[in-house]
Amino acid sequence: MNDRTSDTQWWKEFPLHAPTEEHRLLARTVEAFVRDEVEPQAQVFNREERFNRALFQRAGELGLLGLTVPAEDGGSGLDATAAVIVHEALSWSDPGFCLAYLAHAVLFVHNFSTNASVAQKCRVLPKVLSGEWIGGMCMTEPEAGTDVLGMRSTAERRGDHYILNGRKMFITNGAVDDSTLGDVFLVYAKTGGKISTFLVEKGFPGFSLGQRLHDKLGMRSSMTAELVFENCIVPAENLIGNEGESLHHMMRNLEIERVALAAMSLGIAMRCLETMVRYANERHAFGVPLRDHGQIQRYIGDSFAEFRAARSYVYDVARRLDLRSLGNRADADAAKLFAARVGKDIADRAIQVLGGYGYMGEYVVERLWRDAKLIEIGGGTLEAHQKNITKDLCRDPEWIRR
């Protein structure tokens, strides 16, 4: 079966998904990047659990690492729809690489460009926009994930620097190989009981790699690590914003993160649906094409309907998202809640349609099925989204009609 990049050029037919010429140009660029450079390496780097740094820097050359950074700061100055286009396209081929991209471009770069000072941006942005530095965000701890306020990391001001102590867990881009830290991180820690953000760079005294985490279920071409801060010395000028105001920073950035993660599920669902349909056309069972069997028709029909529904919702939420302010948490959570399950369910059906072949690495869907599970956990669990949506709607029932 020829499982190649689709040449349907969906962005020409569905203006919701690429509403402007700028979006359509981006879609063409990233489609070519995926076809020519991402897809050929995807299976190998996932199988070997390696991060493709050269490919990452290539994304920097294409301007993808600063997609939502304002033009005056050196970025592309694009919107949430552009972010969705890129995350969907990359995840069609390699969700693991896309997760590393998201951790850098959304969790670090977008967050940093929104909240950092002019001096901080002038020093750091050129390096992270080019891919010279690989960034990440450190929030989750061994005993605090969804419960952000339960974090134990602390930072204490001492003259011209802070002393940072704590451990961060499951940090994407925390390492670039078994022994090498990522380059720069936004680290959340408590100062006086409230959460503050610190820019922590590789080489700071007291900052080390605890362990690179191996043998993950999926997303194996993104590196995940435990990071350790033991009396880590952080210059006072590396405080982002003011002490104690980072809960607002965090919540604002989570909206675009969740929409981008939802877009990853769209890419997974699209690839699995295409693979399912192609196989059902080519494979025969009991003397007729697989597509003529009622159960297969149910898998394909349900998958198509769910994919289209999820895609329309995610792009609609992205269209209405203001990247520089809060205000659409309910829909950002709901888009990820819905799309995450759609992506995993369609991947599961694809394996069922392909049977034994679906269980093998050759047909990709088993890798995508493993990758899809992470989106039900990372960036907020399904249960956290359900809690947030209920809280927001009960506070403002009129949101249902908007």
DSSP states of 307-332 as a string? HHHHHHHHHHHHHH--TTS---HHHH
Q: The pTM is what? A: 0.94
Please tell me which residue in 88, 141, 255, 257 is annotated as part of the active site. Answer: 257
Residues paired with 199 in a beta bridge: 186
Q: Which two tokens stand for residue 182?
A: 């990522």
**Residue 156 designated active-site:** no
Which amino acid, one-letter code, is at 99? L
Cβ neighbours around 348 below 10 Å, total: 17
> Cα–Cα distance between 168 and 198 in angstroms, integer?
13
Neighbour tally for 77: CB within 10 Å:
15
Q: How many CB atoms lie within 10 A of CB 152?
A: 13
125 closest CA partner among 143, 111, 138, 137: 111
Please give the Cα distance from 71 to 199 (Å, whole number).
22
d(CA 198, CA 203): 15
pLDDT of 310 reads: 98
pLDDT at 147 (0 to 100): 83
Could you tell me the mean pLDDT of each successive run of 10 residues in the chain, 402 residues long? 47 67 94 97 97 97 96 95 97 98 98 96 98 97 86 97 98 96 97 96 98 96 98 98 91 92 98 97 94 97 98 95 80 97 98 96 95 96 96 94 86
Is beta strand 239-240 parallel, antiparallel or unpaired with respect to 224-235?
Answer: unpaired
State residue 349 phi and psi, 5-degree precision.
-65, -35
Distance, in Å, from the CA atom of 269 to the CA atom of 257, rounded to the nearest integer, reads 19
d(CA 108, CA 135): 6
Answer for the pair 183, 201: CB distance below 8 angstroms, yes or no. yes
